[in-house]
Amino acid sequence: MKESKKKLHEETLSVREQTPRGAEREHSTPIFMTSSFVFESAEQARAMFAEELPGNIYTRFSNPNTDEFVRKMAALEHLEDGFATASGMSAIFTSMAALLKSGDHVVCARSVFGSTHQILTQIFPRWGIDFTYVDIADQYNWQKAFKPNTKMLFLETPSNPALDIIDLEYVGKICKQANVLLNVDNCFCTPVLQKPADFGADIVIHSATKYIDGQGRALGGVILARKDLMKEIRFFARHTGPALSPFNAWLFSKSLETLEIRMQRHSENALRIAEKLQGHAEIEKVIYPFLPDHPGYALAKRQMSAGGGIVTIIVKGGIDRGRRFLDNLEMLSHTANLGDTRTIATHPASTTHSKLTDAERAAVGILPGMVRISVGIENMDDVLADIEQALKASV
Ligand SMILES: Cc1ncc(COP(=O)(O)O)c(C=O)c1O
């Protein structure tokens, strides 16, 4: 077959980007379950170790399945290069630890995933890396937190689970001016809905465990960045060992083939759920970035192509009602994951964020009756019927 030189559209690339066919002429990429790769000569081994020749040496460094996954993700995120990791947290940790040193300072949005909070507050201070949190209300005042030793700004948008929206264009500009690296956790949107690098992000990380897998099967992550930054990140990752398994990389690469249609469907369904539940007698508030009453609505419309699959509701009756609501669900899954084809409900105050004090939860907008719904791709009439009956039964 002739090799095409045409630049492919992103949906096509997600389907067609593929490891070169092997001797068996397979149509679908096989899984390269091998720890290492054979050298053809002593000279080839020397040259590969010296990085004079490209090619796979050892799966902790690279593997055809992880490479295929990374090539697709880098193209979708408009970044040059990447490294696939065993979890979203290893992507976050590696992207920070590889580029920071003792004496550096990180500015971070206050509303970030719980384990990211633990890295900044419990682990990095032991190594002399300091941080400052910035509240969503202060999002046009990041500079107040900048110090001469600020090296990186880290954020999530929309945030988990309060769905705060941060202005990526603004933050991209001020990071450039201050020579601060902008690192964005793009887990909730995926590159289908939002491309932080288009607004100036230097690094984008993902928990592939969520929408990228999309079916709640496998843990993984990926770091994407410019080539010069990836050189430092790859050095750190090769020698500290957070590499993704070939099997999980194969799953994720296959899942990327349907990411675009899944994200569209998740978003359509989530908007429908949000609109239906708005004004419900048993619900205090519905939070969804594409509802016009969301404080970040205009921003979300500007930087996201659709609202995403997460809807957060605040049920009337506080923490006990929230728990009763979860206990009364018949079909929705009660589990700590998100981004699945199946609709999932979680009660952050009694689970994912239970270790925070009431004041800490309030500071990141987590209210006692808050329930996070990761809207799946089932028929939404069934999902709404289950929510409705659980609201009634939990009064
Ligand atoms: C926004 C966000 N970032 C990072 C992570 C961590 O990812 P993982 O569980 O794959 O380590 C999560 C997991 O829930 C998340 O929601």
Neighbour-count burial for 243-276, b at 16+ CB within 10 Å, e otherwise: bbbbebbbbbbebbbebbebbebbbbbbbbbbeb
219 CB near ligand 1 (under 6 Å): yes
- Cα separation, 188 vs 210, in Å, equals 8
- Please identify, by atom number, the ligand 1 atom nearest to the C-alpha of residue 91: 11
Cα 89 to averaged position of ligand 1 atoms, centre (Å): 6
* CATH number for the domain that contains residue 26: 3.40.640.10
Domain presence at residue 3? no
- Domain stop point among 228, 258, 288: 258
Identify the residue whose tokens are 């793009």.
186
211 CB near ligand 1 (under 6 Å): no
The full length of the chain comes to 395
Same domain, 143 and 201: yes
Same domain, 264 and 254: no
pLDDT at position 1: 55
Query: Any residues with CB less than 8 A from the CB of 360 and at least 6 apart, and which?
Result: none
Query: Any residues with CB less than 8 A from the CB of 82 and at least 6 apart, and which?
Result: 70, 73, 74, 222, 223, 224, 225, 230
DSSP string, 232-269: HHHHHHHHH--BPPHHHHHHHHHHHTTHHHHHHHHHHH
Q: Determine which residue's CA is closest to atom 7 belonging to ligand 1.
A: 88
Predicted TM-score (pTM) of this structure: 0.96
> Is cis: bond before 64, omega within 30 of 0?
no
Same domain, 252 and 269: no
Cα 153 to averaged position of ligand 1 atoms, centre (Å): 18
Query: Any residues with CB less than 8 A from the CB of 351 and at least 6 apart, and which?
Result: 336
Mean pLDDT by 10 residues, the chain (395 residues): 75 95 96 98 97 96 98 98 98 98 98 93 97 95 97 96 96 98 98 98 98 98 98 97 98 98 98 97 97 98 98 93 95 96 93 80 86 98 98 95
Same domain, 241 and 290: no
Domain that holds residue 131: 10-258
209 CB near ligand 1 (under 6 Å): yes
Contact 80, 227 (CB under 8 A): yes
Query: Any residues with CB less than 8 A from the CB of 362 and at least 6 apart, and which?
Result: none
Domain presence at residue 1? no
Q: Indicate the top mutation candidate among 85, 87, 89, 193 to test ligand 1's pocket, ranked by most ligand atoms within 8 A of CB.
A: 89
Neighbours of 26 (CB within 10 A): 11
- Domain stop point among 236, 258, 280: 258
Cα 392 to averaged position of ligand 1 atoms, centre (Å): 32
Q: Indicate the top mutation candidate among 207, 312, 364 to test ligand 1's pocket, ranked by most ligand atoms within 8 A of CB.
A: 207
> DSSP secondary-structure letter at 3?
P
Contact 269, 375 (CB under 8 A): yes
Domain presence at residue 223? yes
pLDDT at position 361: 84
340 CB near ligand 1 (under 6 Å): no
pLDDT at position 364: 81
- Cα separation, 137 vs 315, in Å, equals 24
Residue type at 9? Answer: H
Same domain, 219 and 150: yes
| 371 closest CA partner among 296, 290, 282 | 282
89 CB near ligand 1 (under 6 Å): yes
Domain presence at residue 2? no
Same domain, 243 and 264: no
Q: Indicate the top mutation candidate among 93, 115, 252, 364 to test ligand 1's pocket, ranked by most ligand atoms within 8 A of CB.
A: 115
* CATH number for the domain that contains residue 292: 3.90.1150.10
pLDDT at position 359: 84
Same domain, 254 and 273: no
Q: Determine which residue's CA is closest to atom 14 belonging to ligand 1.
A: 337
160 CB near ligand 1 (under 6 Å): yes
- Please identify, by atom number, the ligand 1 atom nearest to the C-alpha of residue 336: 14
Same domain, 155 and 83: yes
How many structural domains compose the chain?
Answer: 2
Domain presence at residue 270? yes
Cα 195 to averaged position of ligand 1 atoms, centre (Å): 18
- Cα separation, 176 vs 183, in Å, equals 12
Same domain, 86 and 225: yes
Domain presence at residue 5? no
- Please identify, by atom number, the ligand 1 atom nearest to the C-alpha of residue 156: 1
Domain presence at residue 4? no
pLDDT at position 79: 98
Cα 2 to averaged position of ligand 1 atoms, centre (Å): 41
Same domain, 245 and 382: no
Neighbours of 90 (CB within 10 A): 24
pLDDT at position 288: 98
pLDDT at position 325: 95
- Domain stop point among 234, 258, 282: 258
- Please identify, by atom number, the ligand 1 atom nearest to the C-alpha of residue 159: 1
- Please identify, by atom number, the ligand 1 atom nearest to the C-alpha of residue 112: 1
pLDDT at position 352: 80
Same domain, 313 and 326: yes
pLDDT at position 5: 60
213 CB near ligand 1 (under 6 Å): no
Same domain, 198 and 276: no
Residues 211, 251, 83, 71, Cα dihedral to 10°: -90
| 63 closest CA partner among 225, 215, 252, 231 | 252
Domain presence at residue 85? yes
Identify the residue whose tokens are 């949190």.
133
